[in-house]
Amino acid sequence: QVQLVESGGGLVQAGGSLRLSCAASVRTFSRYAMGWFRQTPGKERESVAAISWSGGNTYYADSVKGRFTISRDNAKKTVYLQMNTLKPEDTAVYYCAARPVGISSGTYYRIDEYDYWGQGTQVTVPS
């Protein structure tokens, strides 16, 4: 069983930055690929970024490439999402998720392949 707890959300002006954290309570965190997703009311949850178990491979949605950076610290059992140059359209609840299998450019965004999810943290960028 994996428990995930996100933190770091909040209200930030357009152009600002936030860093989200997701702490995992699992003995073998380094065996899990991790992803960040987001969801707004009335819309489907969408992939934002993902990172392989080693951190050697990262993947991003086109909408956040060049602005967001995903990273992980396996010793701290934490994955991060650094969000820069935030836009109003980035407003959403952000979720981290874990999957005990590898990821690739063709699979990282597949919601149904992530087994564990956090409760989410709200990010608001006023227009």
How far apart are alpha carbons 91 and 123 in whole angstroms? Answer: 5
Q: Give the pLDDT confidence score for residue 95 in this predicted structure.
A: 98
Which of these, 6, 40, 66, lies nearest to 125 by C-alpha position? 40
pLDDT for the residue 104:
85
Predicted confidence at residue 103, as pLDDT, reads: 87
| 123 close to 56: Cβ distance less than 8 angstroms | no
pLDDT tens digits, 15-28: 999 999 999 999 89
The answer to whether 12 and 124 are in contact (CB under 8 A) is: yes
pLDDT in tens, 32-79: 999 999 999 999 999 999 999 999 999 999 999 999 999 999 999 999
Which residues neighbour 84 within 8 Å (Cβ) at sequence distance 6 or greater? 17, 67, 68, 69
